[in-house]
Amino acid sequence: MNTLHEQQRSFAKFILADDDERADVAIPGLKHTPSNRFQDVQRMQIYRNNFAISLREALAGVYPVIKKLVGEAFFQQVAREYVQRYPSRTGNLHDFGDELARFLAAYPGLEDLPYLPDVARLEWAHHQVFHTVEGEVLNLASIAVLNEEQMAGLRFLLSPSCAYLASDYPVLRIWQVNQDGQEDVDVSLDEGGVQYVVLRHAAQIEFHPLDAGTFALIDGLAQNKLFSEACEDALAADANCEIAATLQFLVEQKIVSGFSL
């Protein structure tokens, strides 16, 4: 007699298997009542279809702009293949969909939409930040009392309620003009790229374009570099970067939420 664990594994394997693999999967025995009108394989198929549909709907909820840009029919085709390749691996649907940008980058038929993966990264960042607890404001007074030796080992910690990204395309404009209620507007790719941070303030998600120095400073902090090293990166990217003002911006916007020595 199969153990519960073996039955669960067979059930999951049947639900996640593609059409070619499913025929070789042993179906776990299901309970029957006199009212049952379907065979075991039919009952399993109903569950499998509902599972796939729920994941496709979840994907559409995270990526409404991608869906709008490629159209309903194409998006459903992409979603079906994505669900097959990257099924949900946790019990939290908020974790599902993180690989779509990479999936789109290699998807055939999208060669004329090179900005699409970066739009997907923006939408995933929006999704992640929205479902993250907002960070606390860092008290700079706690840093002012550090001595010179301590300052030499200072590292700032980025808040989980923000995400920073860069693109060679005007993805912020593309995202903005494709929101519900916006008039159809053509966006020229000649507008150029953008570096930006996605923030959560209360229930509001905000996008802030970043200059080269600020972006380099955030990137350095994200790599767990010393603050002094991140400042060097910022000045290398923009010799006119005002470090004090930039740090104040990071604190006020809750981009940094703590520090270590």
Residues 66 and 1 reside in one and the same domain: yes
pLDDT for residue 22: 58
Name the pTM for this structure. 0.86
Residues 189 and 234 reside in one and the same domain: yes
**What are the C-alpha distances in Å from 9 to residues 12, 44, 45, 48?**
5, 14, 16, 14
pLDDT for residue 46: 72
Domain boundary among 81, 113, 145: 113
pLDDT for residue 41: 67
Residues 85 and 199 reside in one and the same domain: no
Under 8 Å CB-to-CB from 52, ≥6 apart: which residues? 80, 83
Residues 109 and 147 reside in one and the same domain: no
Under 8 Å CB-to-CB from 258, ≥6 apart: which residues? 138, 156, 157
> What are 162's strand-pairing partners?
199
Domain boundary among 81, 97, 113: 113
pLDDT for residue 181: 85
pLDDT for residue 168: 97
Domain boundary among 113, 137, 153: 113
Residues 96 and 168 reside in one and the same domain: no
Strands 204-209 and 194-201: antiparallel
Residues 184 and 81 reside in one and the same domain: no
Residues 127 and 222 reside in one and the same domain: yes
pLDDT for residue 135: 77
pLDDT for residue 246: 96
pLDDT for residue 45: 73
Residues 128 and 248 reside in one and the same domain: yes
pLDDT for residue 17: 67
Task: Provide the residue range defining the domain that includes 199.
Answer: 117-261
116-130 and 40-62 are packed helices; what angle lies between their axes, rounded to 10 degrees?
Answer: 90
User: How many Å apart are CA 222 and CA 195, to the nearest integer?
Assistant: 15
pLDDT for residue 90: 84
Going from the first residue of the chain to its last (261 residues), give the mean pLDDT of each consecutive group of 10, the final group possibly shorter: 69 68 61 64 72 92 97 96 89 92 96 96 97 85 89 93 96 94 87 95 91 98 97 98 95 92 91
pLDDT for residue 52: 85
Residues 201 and 227 reside in one and the same domain: yes
Residues 87 and 130 reside in one and the same domain: no
Apex 32 CA angle, 26 and 33, nearest 5: 170
Residues 136 and 257 reside in one and the same domain: yes
> Following CA atoms 122, 125, 127, 132 in sequence, which dihedral angle do they give, to the nearest 10 degrees?
-160
Number of domains forming the structure of the chain: 2
